[in-house]
């Protein structure tokens, strides 16, 4: 367990080193009240589920963190600074993943999608993100309005890449874009992470012989998933259980994102804000794993990592 000051100091040092390793960005107008390193540190720290809302975090920050961040601006200005650092936060989360795992030596990555609700689907009106979010189905929560989050996770819980799309998007179409961007990187869509040299282990949502052939030939992505029960080539019960057991890590990761880091409570008004805060949660997840490694603790033991 570490105290808040130690956690923030360690996080800031890593973020600052990363920011200085990136090409400098030119901005018009006067200098911001906080540096990019300070903005990213606060954005990542704010994702702990201890804070019920953005307003709750800012009350904590103004009451406890002004000694470390004396130029803390108004909340609206901080949110603008946060959105301007989105790509840096995404890059930092992947930088942490590269420190923790080598994709060339990783035996496999678990690939799975999860519902990311942002609004009650029974509410009237179009909501804040009309045209971006829509209604989809999740086996765990039923019908919902929001997005579908796709992540790739190594066997120890490190998130090596992610993306999200409208809730109605099929797993296969999301995977198609994910693999394509990994094979042909786009600097503006870097959150998917680097190409994987091992196979992806997925569930039946990614089935399809034609999909598998195309992903293998076009993007070098080999996907392993159990067939349907009525398949002509069914798997044995023992094999199904084994594949389900090695995929369990991705369920643990989603539990951390949604509960430990408060993704269930996300109610965004702008897509840029959602993207920035999601990247901050991924970064906090990977940073907490890195810190647990330094402390000799289990990688996913987040509950008692921080002493409030």
Could you read off the pLDDT of 221-248 as tens digits, one per residue?
999 988 877 777 788 888 888 888 888 9
How high is the pLDDT of residue 29? 66
**DSSP run (H or E) holding 178:** helix 171-183
How high is the pLDDT of residue 298? 94
How high is the pLDDT of residue 31? 76
**Averaged pLDDT of the chain:** 91
pLDDT at 109 over 90: yes
**Burial label, 55 (beta-carbon count in 10 A; 0-12, 13-18, 19+):** exposed
pTM comes to 0.94
Closest CA to 257 of 249, 269, 268, 245: 249
Model confidence pLDDT, tens digit, residues 175-210 = 999 999 999 999 888 999 999 889 999 998 898 889
Q: How far apart are CA 210 and CA 54, in angstroms?
A: 45
Segment 146-172 mean pLDDT: 95
**Burial label, 261 (beta-carbon count in 10 A; 0-12, 13-18, 19+):** buried
DSSP, residue by residue, 79-148: HHHHHHTHHHHHHHHHHHHHHH--TTT-S-EEEEEEEEEEE-TTSSS--TTBTTBEEEEETTTEEEEEEE
What is the maximal distance between C-alpha atoms in the chain?
A: 66
Model confidence pLDDT, tens digit, residues 83-105 = 999 999 999 999 999 999 876 77
Phi, psi dihedrals of residue 134, rounded to the nearest 5°: -150, -165
Residue scoring higher pLDDT (28 or 293): 293
DSSP 8: H
Closest CA to 145 of 169, 114, 119: 119
Residue scoring higher pLDDT (277 or 123): 277
How high is the pLDDT of residue 45? 97
How much of the chain, in percent, has pLDDT values that exceed 70?
98
How high is the pLDDT of residue 114? 95
Model confidence pLDDT, tens digit, residues 163-182 = 999 999 999 999 999 999 99
How high is the pLDDT of residue 249? 94
């Amino acid at each position: 367990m570490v105290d808040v000051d130690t956690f923030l100091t360690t996080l800031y040092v890593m973020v600052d080193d990363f920011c200085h390793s990136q090409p400098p960005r030119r901005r018009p107008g006067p200098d911001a009240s906080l540096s990019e390193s300070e903005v990213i540190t606060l954005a990542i720290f704010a994702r702990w589920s201890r804070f019920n809302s953005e307003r709750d975090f800012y009350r904590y920050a103004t009451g406890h963190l002004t000694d470390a961040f004396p130029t803390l601006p108004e909340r609206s200005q901080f949110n603008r600074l946060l959105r301007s650092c989105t790509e840096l936060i995404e890059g930092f989360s992947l930088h942490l993943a590269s420190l923790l795992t080598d994709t060339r030596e990783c035996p496999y990555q678990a690939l799975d999608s999860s519902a990311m609700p942002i609004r009650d689907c029974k509410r009237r009106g179009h909501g804040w993100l009309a045209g971006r979010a829509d209604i989809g189905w999740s086996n765990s929560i039923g019908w919902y309005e929001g997005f579908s989050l796709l992540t790739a996770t190594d066997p120890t819980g490190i998130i090596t890449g992610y993306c999200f799309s409208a809730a109605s998007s099929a797993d296969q179409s999301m995977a198609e874009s994910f693999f394509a961007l990994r094979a042909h990187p786009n600097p503006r869509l870097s959150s998917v992470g680097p190409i994987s040299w091992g196979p992806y282990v997925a569930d039946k949502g990614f089935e399809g012989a034609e999909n598998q052939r195309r992903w293998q030939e076009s993007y070098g992505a080999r996907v392993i998933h159990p067939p349907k029960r009525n398949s002509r080539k069914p798997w044995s019960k023992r094999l199904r259980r084994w594949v389900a057991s090695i995929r369990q890590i991705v369920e643990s990761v989603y539990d951390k994102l949604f509960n430990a880091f408060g993704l269930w409570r996300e109610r965004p008004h702008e897509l840029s804000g959602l993207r920035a805060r999601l990247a901050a949660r991924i970064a906090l997840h990977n940073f907490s794993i890195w810190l647990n490694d330094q402390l000799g603790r289990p990688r996913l033991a987040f509950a008692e990592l921080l002493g409030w």
